[in-house]
Chain A
Amino acid sequence: MRYSAYSIIKQALSGNRLWTPAWREPEPKPHYDVIIVGGGGHGLSTAYYLAKEFGITNIAVLEKGYIGSGNVGRNTTIIRSNYLLEGNIPFYEFSLKLWEGLEQDFNYNAMVSQRGVMMLAHSDGQRDAYARRGNAMRMHGVDAEMLDRKQLQALMPYLNYDHARFPILAGLLQKRGGTVRHDAVAWGYARGADMRGVDIIQHCEVSAIRRDEQGRVTGVETNKGFIGCNKLALATAGHSSETARMAGLELPIETHVLQAFVSEGIKPVVDHVIVYGAGHFYISQSDKGGLVFGADIDYYSSYAQRGNLATVEHTMEEGVSLIPGLSRGKVLRAWGGVMDMSMDGSPIIDRTPIDNLYLNAGWCYGGFKATPASGFCFAHLIAKNESHHVSRFLRLDRFERGHMIDEAGKGPQPNIH
């Protein structure tokens, strides 16, 4: 069923009784051309683009819970391509371009809202670093502007200019950055993939990866029985190490928990996505009125989707330091997402040393914005057995070769990326 204003009126006239499921609930077939493990944003978008762009439709997406139950349903909904390094900018810019046409493409309103992403600089050194980044973006044709303090005061008068411990000196603005309604991304891709014949199988947990005598992957054991495949694609960020271990692979990843928060609904006050440079705090306001924000990870390894109070308090300290007017607002809900923190802070979209096994992992806390490009590039890799040009640096073996993509310059300690 195609969605439109017309369909809404038509359905309303018949008491909204004739809407059909957004996706089927099929039983798994014995064999697929491609099995994607993980029904999150990246797994679903991979299926969608495989079907739509690369003509492969005999696909199953296996999800151990419900689709969108991982990080696509628990993030701060920010999209942007304001990266520094050659390995990242083209990829994230490709992603942003896909976001820009996504809703018409998959006929689902995910509320892509390009309200602008502002990164604030609080020292000369940071301003220079953002200038370097902004120029790197512009070199690649990505929009970037540097605003001075005066311009910021006009644009965001509610920031703490006069009583800040770390003064606000400048801001790097990417106007095309913004936010997206996160659940709708999973649902839109799921519906789009389903319409093209992809089997989305929820509550199907993979327990083992079966390989033949030559070591090639032939399928997966699940709680719904064995399902065969020609190609197996892992898109299980947060749990990548656990799924890769089934194939005997050890990954350059540690798992950590990142908390995020939403406030009670208030009338719109924050129009942009704002990133505090003197700490690590980012905030935007949803179309429903909730302030959506987050800060650092909890720093210890964790597979639990919950964090601790010290991190919560630290987040609020940074929030109120940046926007004093938040103080009398109230925080409604905190949640935790489980992150693949990679060794250089950048992701992996690559083949693996095991035949027929493909890997999409290591998204740290930047996976949401990458969802379209990640799916597109992963689909490209699976379909053609070669990297899409914008994801060619995101290799699994880059650490052995010494080609890290270290945006933060922190080295091989995953919890500080």
Chain B
Amino acid sequence: MTSYRLASAGSVNRGQPLTFTFDGKSYKGFEGDSLASALLANDQMLMGRSFKYHRPRGPVTAGSSEPNALMTIGSGARAEPNVRATVAELYDGLAAVSQNRWPSLAFDVGAVNGLLSPMLGAGFYYKTFMWPAALWEKLYEPVIRRAAGLGKLAMQADPDRYEKSWAHCDLLVIGSGPAGLMAALAAGRAGARVILADEGFRLGGSLLSESASVGGVSAADFASAMIEELEALPNVTLMPRATVFGWYDDMVFGAVERVQKHVGTPSPDLPMERLWRIAARRAILATGSEERPLVFGGNDKPGVMTASAMRTYANRYGVAAGGKVAIFTNGGSGYRTAADLVAAGVDVTAIIDARVQSADAVPGGVRVIRNGGVVGTKGRKRLEALIAERSGFQEQITCDALAMAGGWSPIVHLMCQRGAKPVWSDEAQAFLAPDVGSAFIAVGSAAGADTISTCLKEGATKAMMLARDLGFAAYEMNIPEVEGEYDPAFAPVWYVPGARDKAFVDFQNDVAVSDLGLAQREGFRHIEHTKRYTTAGMATDQGKLGNVATIGIVAGMRGVSPAEIGTTTFRPFYTPVSFGALAGTSRGEHAAPVRTSPLHDWAKKNGATFVEAGVWHRSAWFSREGEKGWRDSVDREVQNVRRNAGLCDVSTLGKIEIFGKGAAEFLNRIYCNNFLKLPVGKARYGLMLREDGMIFDDGTTSRFSEHHYVMTTTTAYAAEVMAHLEFASQTFWPDLDVRFVSVSDQWAQMSLAGPRARTIMSRVVEDDISDAAFPYLAAKTVTLRGGLKARLFRISFSGELAYELAVPAGYGEAVADAIMEAGRDEGICAYGVEALNVLRIEKGFITHSEIDGRTTPDDLGLGRMMALQKPDFIGKRMSTRFGLTAADRLQLVGLRPLEKLEEFSAGAHLLKEDATPSMANDQGWVSSTCHSPTLGHTIGLAMLRSGRERYGETIVVWDGLHGREVLAQVCPPVFVDPENRKLQG
């Protein structure tokens, strides 16, 4: 193994060696290395396999646009697939494995695809695998799927934490190269709150890779000095390892900070990544530019990389990309690379310049082939030689690395995420940033600037302009002198024809020039069609590297300017962002807050089992010793309520206080039934409709004084009803004097039901609650023994004599305890929502199982509540449409099985006897069922076509899903005490 580590160059910390593994083999690198630079230093050029043909690949960049060097880092639940080795920060103990190869990276059976490549051109799969039809899912697709994807996702729960934060600033600077650093400093010195974010693990951007000297020191040292000054400014926040991935409305930027991705043993006190939403008044795009690869046959051999990448490896990491390097260039970058490599002692064997002539300085002793091109490469797992062509003559040149300098493309991605398209410039031969207004501007090479000195100057002046625009006094900055910079001008070369091997434009997806040609021939001429048909630009780098070449080549094939071809759409994310970071803390058990009732602890100590009801945890039943299952508990609770009494927590109901002189009129318009004349001290059941005439929610509203009401809603619709009341009050009838406050959390509410309820309640209430003094539907403030004021309602959801008692939440448990104590000798029990549900089904009361958003009051037998004589209520005008009043609508009925032991469940449908199951024969559906301990068999509520005319009919309860059919008799939907004797007793 050769070491490609240069003797002295670079800014890695040679005093801090790090050990890591790749495919199980141990290597050494230094602090400050990227994984890719450390692998290169160890002569490991082969880092991946391409997607389609499994061609061996090495890194082609040293940055975030890397398409080839993708690896899985970490193991077990921490394994992260598709990490770009070129931006992964090396740490001690890092373990990386290669992807998309079998059995090994060096010997990959999948490479056989390459032999079939003439048949696997763009879109081949659309044209075959169709016969016989059955084979697609049985044979073809499984084979294709086996080849799908790159790395493996462990699919285990993530052991690490993620968090989110907002940040606010006057100026966000994205990118910390020469332009970004100067911009941040200019605005920072002016006193603006500045955030400087950079995707790299070290700030400085291209300054870390350039050999020029700035302000008399090396570019990297200059960057360090700038960063030191910025760090000292309290109004400047530096965010390395933070990728700004998206630009959203209102100058909000999304960024992800990799807090601990570079740490061997993550601290449990820190997040792995942190998602930032940065609200910036102004923003500067200083993201630099991307060097374009050249497109020639065999341009994907390991060892072929961009010239700037090669410079980065040499100047920043102190690593030579090869022992014998050739350079293929169309501009100054190639010559600068040659000079830097020669200075570092690397053998540069030739510069092949596509141009006829240039003024670029040639380092001593390096051969230049002008007006030449590379038309082929040799070698398999590493470049061994290239074939250069000049004036029809070919020459083989031995080399183990080849730098490609194909010109520059400003990185304008973020600016184009909100619809603006980049603009082609003939002069720059590049797509430039669009004008997106004065709040977000591009500077430096992201704006097409060519040299470091231009970048420095532009960064400073544009930042000062923005700072002044925001009212800060910004003073002119000294722009440091740059020595030894080069002219990166280039003459475009889109494609070098004449190659036998494939010339790739998209390395990862193996899209070659021939595929682009095929797409044009087949009519996929719009660039979006070309992209989608060939998959060019659809790999994990999203075309950062290859899209401009694709556009240039397609333009050449069509004989038009790249301007006419245009770009595909730029969309978030700039680089891929983890699900973990975007999800943050709201996951798993914390996906939604848990709401518990003020009586939660009371229920707990009484043995409750809890069930999720929306975000609530509600007591479902209260197990007692000897009970074998929940049904035993529920049956006992129901029977005990019907026989003695039970106490149930109903605190989760929505509770809304309504005040104002207009409250009566308001309620009269909100409910479909009459509320204008509800007397003080009375509760009334009400139905709210939507404006389309369907039931929205139900509940009771009680009048406590002339201008004070208390409304209850269902648990599920509490928030919706509140918003609905506010909407109606604020937008429909702002003239009505009415105010609301949600008090759902302020009151503990409990239902005491059963024949002994009055006896028990009178033991805790001081007021007279005899039937005469406190009849059915009475509602008033009472005093409990001990002096606590409470609200008592005589309402029932069980059909029993029942009260609902509301006390301030903090007293809930004590009052519930007192009631249990007071009822002990009356046989009281606690009962949960399961028993509550049985009790209400037995009595034919409805819930949102019946009110499913498609039911009218009449459907549920409540048609008489509709007070159509009222001048107005919500839902009135739409409720008389034909479809809502048709005689064949589904209507609420009861069902009882013909055979007592037969059971059926909710969700079953209804069929006439002897009818075959079909949509036309579908008679309705079962909304609620339970075992009725009172009757000793299953009962159900159902919505049946013209149901109220069909009492007594035998009907099939059809549950094909569970393979069950039961005969049932249609009956009125009230199974217990239809005369309401118990209720009013």
A and B touch in the complex (CB under 8 A): yes
What is A's interface to B at a CB cutoff of 8 Å?
A: 3-5, 7-9, 12-13, 15-17, 19-25, 65-66, 68-69, 73, 86, 89-90, 101, 103-104, 107-115, 122-125, 127-136, 138-141, 144-146, 158, 160, 163-167, 181, 183-184, 187-188, 202, 263-269, 278-279, 285-290, 304-306, 308-309, 312-313, 315-321, 323-335, 398, 400-404, 406, 408-412
Give Cα distance in the complex from A126 to B128, angstroms. 42
Neighbour of B612 across the interface among A13, A166, A325, CB < 8 A: A166
Task: Give the CA-CA distance A342 to B883 in the complex, in Å.
Answer: 18
Complex contact A306–B419 (CB within 8 A): yes
Q: Check B907 against A330 for contact (C-beta < 8 Å).
A: no
The contact string, 1 if C-beta is below 8 Å from chain A, for chain B 539-552, is 11010000000000
Given contacts A19-B521, A132-B925, A329-B579, contact A266 B960 (CB under 8 A): no
Interface string of B96-118 (1 = CB under 8 A from A): 00000000000000000000001
Quick check: B532 and A164 within 8 Å, CB to CB?
no
Q: Are A402 and B883 in contact (CB under 8 A)?
A: yes
Q: Does B578 contact A329, Cβ atoms closer than 8 Å?
A: yes
User: Could you tell me if B961 and A19 are in contact, using CB atoms closer than 8 angstroms?
Assistant: no
Given A16-B518, A264-B150, A267-B153, check contact A66 B529 (CB 8 Å).
Answer: yes
B152 & A123 in contact (Cβ 8 Å cutoff): no
What are 25 A-to-B residue pairs whose CB atoms are below 8 Å? Answer: A13-B118, A19-B518, A21-B522, A21-B523, A65-B526, A69-B528, A104-B133, A125-B848, A136-B919, A160-B157, A165-B588, A165-B591, A202-B526, A264-B576, A265-B539, A313-B275, A316-B579, A316-B583, A324-B156, A328-B77, A328-B153, A331-B573, A403-B883, A406-B853, A409-B852
A residues in contact with B81, CB < 8 Å: 264, 266, 328-329
Q: Which of A23, A268, A317, A410 has the most CB atoms of chain B within a 10 A radius of its CB?
A: A317
| Contact (A101, B133) CB under 8 Å given A128-B905, A324-B156 | yes
Q: 8 closest pairs, A vs B, by CB?
A: A409-B853, A131-B907, A402-B883, A289-B149, A402-B881, A325-B155, A21-B523, A327-B158
Chain B, residues 822-846, CB within 8 Å of chain A (1/0): the string is 0000000000000000000000000
Q: Which of B174-182, B247-255, B638-646, B893-901 contacts A (4 or more CB under 8 A)?
A: B247-255
- Expressed in whole angstroms, the minimum distance between the Cβ of B961 and any Cβ of chain A is 4
Shortest distance between the CB of A67 and any CB in chain B (Å): 8
With an 8 Å Cβ cutoff, the count of chain B residues facing the other chain is: 122
Bound form: Cα–Cα A305–B128 in Å: 33
Expressed in whole angstroms, the minimum distance between the Cβ of A61 and any Cβ of chain B is: 14
Interface pair A86/B922, CB less than 8 Å apart? yes
Q: Are B151 and A334 in contact (CB under 8 A)?
A: no
**8 A Cβ contacts from B106-146 to A:** 118-119, 121, 124-131, 133, 136-137, 141, 144-146
**Are the CB atoms of B119 and A412 closer together than 8 Å?**
no
B613 interfacial contact with A, CB 8 Å? yes
Question: B934 contacts which chain A residues (CB < 8 A)?
Answer: none
Smallest Cβ-Cβ distance to B277: which chain A residue: A309
A169 to B124, CA, bound (A): 43
Give CA–CA (A296, B862) in the complex, Å. 35
Contact in complex: B579, A265 (CB < 8 Å): no
Is B692 part of the binding interface, using a Cβ–Cβ cutoff of 8 Å? yes
> Contact: A329 with B521, CB < 8 Å?
no
Using A19-B522, A109-B130 as known contacts, say yes or no to A402 and B878 having CB atoms under 8 A apart: yes
Are the CB atoms of B155 and A330 closer together than 8 Å?
no
Q: Is the CB of B588 within 8 A of A136?
A: no
A268 and B246 CA atoms in complex are apart in Å by 28
Partner of A266 from B149, B419, B571 at Cβ < 8 Å: B149
A304 proximity list for chain B (CB < 8 A): 418-419
Task: Write the B375-412 contact mask toward A (1 if CB under 8 angstroms, else 0).
Answer: 00000000000000000000000000000000000000
A53 to B323, CA, bound (A): 67
- In this complex, which of A128, A312, A325, A328 has the most chain B Cβ atoms within 10 angstroms of its Cβ? A328
Q: Say yes or no: A128-B853 contact (C-beta < 8 A), given A304-B419, A308-B248, A329-B579.
A: no
Q: Which residues of B contact A65 (CB under 8 A)?
A: 526
- Distance A5 CA – B132 CA, assembled complex (angstroms): 12
Q: Which residues of chain B are near A320, meaning CB under 8 Å? A: 158, 579-580, 583, 587-588
CB–CB A316/B582 < 8 A: yes
| Residue B908 lies at the interface, judged by CB distance under 8 Å to chain A | yes
Tell which of A103, A130, A136, A410 touches B133, judged by Cβ atoms closer than 8 Å: A103
Minimum CB–CB distance for B497 against chain A, Å: 14
Q: Which residues of A contact B573 (CB under 8 A)?
A: 331-334
Residue among B162, B418, B854 facing the most chain A CB atoms (10 A cut-off) = B854
- Contacts A16-B518, A22-B523, A411-B853 hold; do A146 and B961 have CB atoms under 8 A apart? yes
A213 → chain B closest CB, angstroms = 34
Contact of B583 among A165, A187, A327, A333 (CB under 8 A): A327
User: What residue in chain B is nearest A144 (Cβ atoms)?
Assistant: B961
Q: Choose from B153, B522, B589, B921 the contact partner of A269 (Cβ within 8 Å).
A: B153
Contact at B591–A278, with CB atoms within 8 Å?
yes
| Chain B residues, Cβ within 8 Å of A313 | 164, 275, 582-584
**Alpha-carbon separation in the docked complex, A326 to B583 (Å):** 10
Task: Tell me whether B154 is interfacial, beta carbon within 8 Å.
Answer: yes
- A136-B137 contact given A265-B149, A309-B254, A330-B579, CB 8 Å threshold: no
Q: Output the least CB separation between B645 and chain A (Å).
A: 26
Compute how far the CA of A24 lies from the CA of B523 in the bound complex, rounded to whole angstroms: 8
Chain B residue contacts of A319, Cβ below 8 A: 579, 583
A255 to B178, CA, bound (A): 44
Residues in B whose Cβ lies below 8 Å from that of A402: 693, 878, 881-885
Is the beta-carbon distance between B149 and A288 smaller than 8 angstroms? yes
Q: Nearest-CB distance from A168 to chain B (Å)? A: 12
- Is A412 in contact with B579, judged by CB distance below 8 angstroms? no
Is B141 a contact partner of A287 (Cβ separation < 8 A)?
Answer: yes
Q: Are A167 and B612 in contact (CB under 8 A)?
A: yes
Residues of B within 8 A of A15 (CB): 118
Give the one of A13, A68, A289 with max B CB within 10 A. A289
Q: How far is the CA of A55 from the CA of B162 in the complex (A)?
A: 60
Assuming A22-B522, A264-B540, A325-B154, is B128 touching A135 (CB within 8 A)? Answer: no
Q: Is the CB of B518 within 8 A of A333?
A: no
Q: How far is the CB of A148 from chain B (nearest CB, A)?
A: 11
Query: Which residues of the partner chain A approach B918 to less than 8 Å between Cβ atoms?
Result: 139-141
**In the complex, A241 Cα to B29 Cα: how many Å?**
62
Say if the beta carbon of B917 comes within 8 Å of chain A.
yes
Residue B524 interfacial (CB < 8 Å): yes
Taking CB atoms, residues of chain A closer than 8 Å to B576 are 263-264, 330-332
Q: Is the C-beta of B312 less than 8 angstroms from some C-beta in chain A? A: no
Which chain A residues border B80 with CB–CB below 8 Å?
A: 328
Indicate whether A267 sits within 8 Å of B151 (C-beta atoms), given known contacts A8-B127, A138-B917, A408-B853. Answer: yes
Further pairs besides A115-B137, A328-B153: 14, Cβ < 8 Å: A24-B523, A68-B532, A123-B612, A130-B907, A132-B906, A133-B907, A163-B589, A166-B592, A267-B150, A287-B148, A289-B148, A315-B582, A320-B580, A333-B572
Answer whether A286 and B148 are a contact pair too, CB < 8 Å, given A19-B522, A136-B922, A306-B417: yes
